[in-house]
Each structure stands twice: as structure tokens, then as C-alpha cells.
């Protein structure tokens, strides 16, 4: 909870942070099968208490209490509610307390993540499965289940037809329960976007959802993500800022806004956006690492990252799982064998998912071994990555993200022709025109593949294209990361390093 009762609180500042004039304050106490809820409505501008009420009821009446509070607040504010809004207030999300408990736990776990750790996503899905098992009519749980399944597919944690089927099954269940409500259409938009890049269908579903959820940040953030995939970067930033305005303390939205500036190499705006995020979540380890990463990417300055990692590990060793990806990135740039080993130990076997491309831990174990000149361990690890990605490609031969990682693995093993054909095929399957974000990463990975198999001219030519668009490369990466070691004696590469400091000139 970001605003807890007790202690010194500035209600005017809280209201300003949230962009509201009134604040609802309350407490809940439970004793056996009864619950006491106290709620009060405060005018934050004058610190005047406009309304206060205490409810002592059986625990089973908790949803009726929610409805009563919402009606009372609407009445005090003389709000003009539409019939749909009145119906929404009077409609409980579920009448099953066990189902609701599972749902809230899933929502909390989802909201608290600033990385999508595979194990956490599976736990979200497990909790939501429990929610709908206890209440098969729990519409909101089905909506969240559709979102979670589709996102697991989208990230590559489980990029299989079976996962898509689960997402569609949950979406269809929500639509059957109430096709006129906005939430199932928002879920349908997420499934269309995450599972098939069907941008037109997603936008059509969002338009339906927006009529019923005009103040929901997701009806602006999802169009922003679609715009970003389509290469409409300014439109993406505008929609993200609109989403943030409606949900100003949503760390995910703030993070996405900052990352979008960073992808365009608009570093001063990215710095301001990351600082805004840190003001909301000063203790979040991943956000602290992201702010330090900006210093590395924009100026090849590794010291802020090194100090941030040291502080996080000292303060909370359990937080390392959430920062493992960035920790490994810094360790590779520093060529620090001990740090690489520690970061790798914190990575899940699935590895990391930069730019929607899952790269297994074994691949980075190979890269770390190569950096410390351990050729035998490098070959073993890269072979493990190759075998894992080969199996995925065998089952899904047109999965571009897996193909490009397979190509890099083969490049590391000296299997030149396989590497080149796989990397090039990945670019054909997922061009930038289809997905400006993941497509740019596939292009970058092809440049790495060219560099690793000794095709310097092709690598430079590919980088000349990539450096002009929002892509995973940066000044700091080109200057420091072992991905590019084989190009460091080429003056054309030095020129590209200089180019990578400049903001992207968007068309």
C-alpha cells in the first residue's frame, strides 16, 4: 500500500500526486466472521471531512459494504452517473470470498512486479485458475486470466498454440458471461495483440472497452503499445502520458513511458521519466537498476550501476532475482567474472526476455565463459542453448524470435551456414514493418551473428541500418559489451559508436 494510515501524511500532496480533489480514507478490521469497515471522504484542498460512516456486518456482506460506500461517495460528490456506471457500482465482482481472495492475491502479485519473472507469472495464473474454480461466473478473473495467458505467450515464456488456446478460452468465457461489459472487450484486445499481433482487431476491441472504462489507464496504454509496435513512437508517448495521467502511481506505466524515451535515445527525457518513476517507487530494485542502466547506455558510465547493485545486494539479497537481467548486462560490460557468476546464478533457466525475445540462461553462460576465455565451458553452454532453441524451432518453424537466438547460438559454435540462414530467416519472418520493437531486436541479433561468424562487412552494414532506428543497441553497449568485440578494430565501427549517441531521427 502506497498510502498507509498512521504517521504524518499530507493529504493535499497525496491528492496532487493522484490528480484528484477528494480522498477516501478507511480501515478494515476482521474478527471471526464479522468485519468492521470505516470510511471517510475528505476534501483534500481544505482537509474537510465531508462524510464518514462505520459498518459492522457479517463478513459475507463485504461486497454490499463496497456498494454502499460507492453510492454514498457518489451522492456526496453529486456525481451524475450513467445507467452503466450505476449498474457497475451495484454489481459485486463475485459473491465468493475465497474466489475473491485468490483474485486479489493475483492482482497484487501482478501489480508489484516490475519484471515479468516466469515463476511469478505462473503463480498469477495459478491463483486466477483457483478464483474461477471457486466461482465459474467470476468475469473479472477470466479477463485477468486471458491477459496473463496471452502475456506469457507474448513474452516467449510459453510460446505455444496451447497457451494461445488457454488465453482464448478465458476471453471467450468472459464474453459469454456478459458481452456488453467493457472488461471482456479489453481482454479480447490483449489476446489479439499478444497472441497474433492483430492490431486492427485489438484497436476495435479497445474502442468498445473505452466507452465503458473511460478512466482506465489500460484503454490508453494498450493503444500506446500497439503504436510502438507499428513504429509510431510519438503517438506511443502521447498515449502513455494519457494513461499515466489516469493512473499516476502505476509503476508499469511510468516504466513504459521512460523506456519509450530511452529506446529513441531521448536521454534527457528518459532521465526525467525514470526519476519520476523512482519518486513513486524509490525502493524498487528493478527501477533503481533501470535508472543506472540509462547512465551506461547514454554515456558508457558503469559506476552508477556497480554502486546500485552493491547497495541492492546488501539491503535485500532476495531482490537479486528481479534485477538479474540488468545485473548480468553490467557484469558483461565490466568483464567481471565474479559478478557474471552471481548474476547468472540469479537468472531463471528460461533466461531473460529483452525486447520480447527469450534468450535462455545457457546462452549467457556461454557468453560469460567466452569472456573469461574458458572455451570448453563456452562450447558446452552454447550447445545447451542450441539444443533448447532447436526444439522450439522444430515445433514452431516460423517463430522468428527463437530462430534468431538459434542463429546466434550456432554462430558462437562456428556453425556458420546454419547461423546465417536462421538469422536471415528470422528477419524475413519478423520485419520492422510488422513489429518495430521485436523486429529491431531481430535485426540487431543478425548483426551479432554476422560479427561472430567473421562477416565484418555484413555486420557493419546491418549495424548502419539498426543505429538509425529505435533498437536494443546503444552507445554504452557498442562501447563496452562483448557482443561487439570482433568489430573493435574497424574504424567504421568506431564511427557507428559515435552515431549511437545521437537521438533517433524519427520519420
Set of cell numbers at residue 410: 550456432
Cα 41 from Cα 29, distance rounded (Å) = 19
Cα 115 from Cα 353, distance rounded (Å) = 10
pLDDT in tens, 195-229: 999 999 999 999 999 999 988 999 999 999 999 99
Set of cell numbers at residue 272: 526525467
pLDDT in tens, 320-373: 988 999 999 999 999 999 999 999 999 988 898 888 899 999 999 999 999 999
Using a pLDDT cut of 90, give the percent of the chain over it.
74
Q: Which candidate, 403, 391, 459, 411, places its Cα nearest to that of 428?
A: 403
Burial (CB < 10 A; 0-12, 13-18, 19+), residue 147, is buried
Set of cell numbers at residue 150: 496471452
pLDDT in tens, 243-255: 999 899 899 999 9
Cα 494 from Cα 491, distance rounded (Å) = 5
DSSP string, 196-208: H--HHHHHHHHHH
Residue found under cell 573493435: 488
Sorted by where each starts, the structural domains of the chain and their CATH numbers stand as: 11-90 (3.40.50.10070), 97-287 (1.25.40.10), 348-499 (1.25.40.10)
Set of cell numbers at residue 122: 505462473
Q: What pLDDT is attached to residue 350?
A: 86
Q: What is the mean pLDDT of residues 424-439?
A: 97
pLDDT in tens, 83-140: 766 777 778 889 999 999 999 999 988 887 666 567 789 999 999 999 999 999 999 9
Query: What's the pTM?
Result: 0.89
Cα 166 from Cα 160, distance rounded (Å) = 10
Measure Cα distances from 88 to 91, 93, 147, 340, 398 in Å.
Answer: 5, 9, 21, 51, 44
Whether the pLDDT of residue 1 is over 60: the answer is no
Measure Cα distances from 463 to 243, 356, 440, 503 in Å.
Answer: 34, 20, 11, 16
Set of cell numbers at residue 403: 530462430
Whether the pLDDT of residue 2 is over 70: the answer is no
Amino acid at each position: 500500500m502506497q498510502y498507509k494510515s498512521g504517521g504524518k501524511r499530507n493529504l493535499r500532496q497525496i491528492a496532487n500526486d493522484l490528480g484528484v480533489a477528494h480522498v477516501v480514507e478507511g480501515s478494515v478490521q476482521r474478527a471471526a466472521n464479522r468485519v468492521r469497515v470505516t470510511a471517510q471522504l475528505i476534501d483534500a484542498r481544505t482537509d474537510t471531512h465531508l462524510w464518514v460512516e462505520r459498518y459492522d456486518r457479517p463478513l459475507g456482506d463485504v461486497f454490499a459494504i463496497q456498494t454502499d460506500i460507492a453510492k454514498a461517495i457518489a451522492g456526496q460528490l453529486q456525481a451524475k452517473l450513467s445507467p452503466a456506471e450505476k449498474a457497475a457500482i451495484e454489481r459485486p465482482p463475485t459473491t465468493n470470498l475465497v474466489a475473491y481472495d485468490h483474485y486479489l492475491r493475483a492482482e497484487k502479485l501482478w501489480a508489484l512486479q516490475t519484471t515479468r519473472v516466469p515463476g511469478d507469472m505462473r503463480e498469477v495464473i495459478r491463483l486466477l485458475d483457483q478464483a474461477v474454480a471457486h466461482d465459474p461466473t467470476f468475469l473479472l478473473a477470466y479477463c485477468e486470466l486471458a491477459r496473463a495467458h496471452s502475456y506469457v505467450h507474448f513474452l516467449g515464456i510459453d510460446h505455444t498454440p496451447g497457451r494461445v488456446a488457454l488465453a482464448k478460452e478465458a476471453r471467450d468465457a468472459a464474453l459469454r458471461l456478459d458481452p456488453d461489459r467493457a472488461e471482456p472487450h479489453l481482454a479480447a484486445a490483449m489476446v489479439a495483440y499478444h497472441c497474433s499481433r492483430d492490431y486492427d482487431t485489438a484497436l476495435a476491441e479497445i474502442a468498445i472497452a473505452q466507452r465503458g472504462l473511460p478512466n482506465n489507464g489500460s484503454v490508453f496504454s494498450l493503444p500506446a503499445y500497439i503504436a510502438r509496435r507499428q513504429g509510431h513512437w510519438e503517438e506511443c508517448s502521447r498515449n502513455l502520458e494519457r494513461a499515466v495521467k489516469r493512473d499516476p502511481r502505476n509503476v508499469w506505466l511510468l516504466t513504459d513511458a521512460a523506456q519509450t524515451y530511452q529506446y529513441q535515445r531521448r536521454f534527457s527525457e528518459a532521465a526525467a521519466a525514470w526519476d519520476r518513476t523512482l519518486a513513486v517507487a524509490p525502493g524498487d530494485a528493478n527501477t533503481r537498476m533501470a535508472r543506472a542502466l540509462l547512465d551506461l547506455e547514454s554515456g558508457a558510465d558503469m559506476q552508477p550501476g556497480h554502486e546500485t547493485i552493491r547497495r541492492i545486494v546488501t539491503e535485500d539479497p532476495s531482490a537479486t532475482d528481479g534485477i538479474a537481467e540488468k545485473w548480468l548486462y553490467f557484469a558483461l560490460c565490466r568483464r567481471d567474472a565474479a559478478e557474471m557468476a552471481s548474476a547468472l546464478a540469479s537468472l531463471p533457466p528460461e533466461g531473460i526476455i529483452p525486447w520480447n525475445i527469450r534468450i535462455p540462461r545457457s546462452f549467457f553462460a556461454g557468453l560469460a565463459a567466452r569472456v573469461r576465455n574458458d572455451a570448453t565451458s563456452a562450447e558446452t553452454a552454447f550447445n545447451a542453448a542450441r539444443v533448447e532453441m532447436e526444439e522450439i524451432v522444430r515445433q514452431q518453424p516460423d517463430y522468428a524470435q527463437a530462430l534468431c537466438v538459434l542463429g546466434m547460438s550456432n554462430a558462437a559454435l562456428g556453425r556458420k551456414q546454419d547461423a546465417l540462414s536462421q538469422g536471415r530467416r528470422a528477419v524475413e519472418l519478423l520485419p520492422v514493418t510488422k513489429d518495430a520493437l521485436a523486429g529491431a531486436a531481430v535485426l540487431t541479433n543478425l548483426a551479432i551473428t554476422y560479427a561472430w561468424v567473421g562477416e565484418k562487412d555484413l555486420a557493419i552494414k546491418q549495424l548502419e541500418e539498426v543505429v538509425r532506428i529505435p533498437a536494443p543497441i546503444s552507445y554504452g553497449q557498442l562501447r563496452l559489451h562483448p557482443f561487439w568485440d570482433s568489430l573493435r578494430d574497424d574504424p567504421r565501427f568506431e564511427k557507428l559508436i559515435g552515431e549511437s549517441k545521437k537521438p533517433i531521427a524519427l520519420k
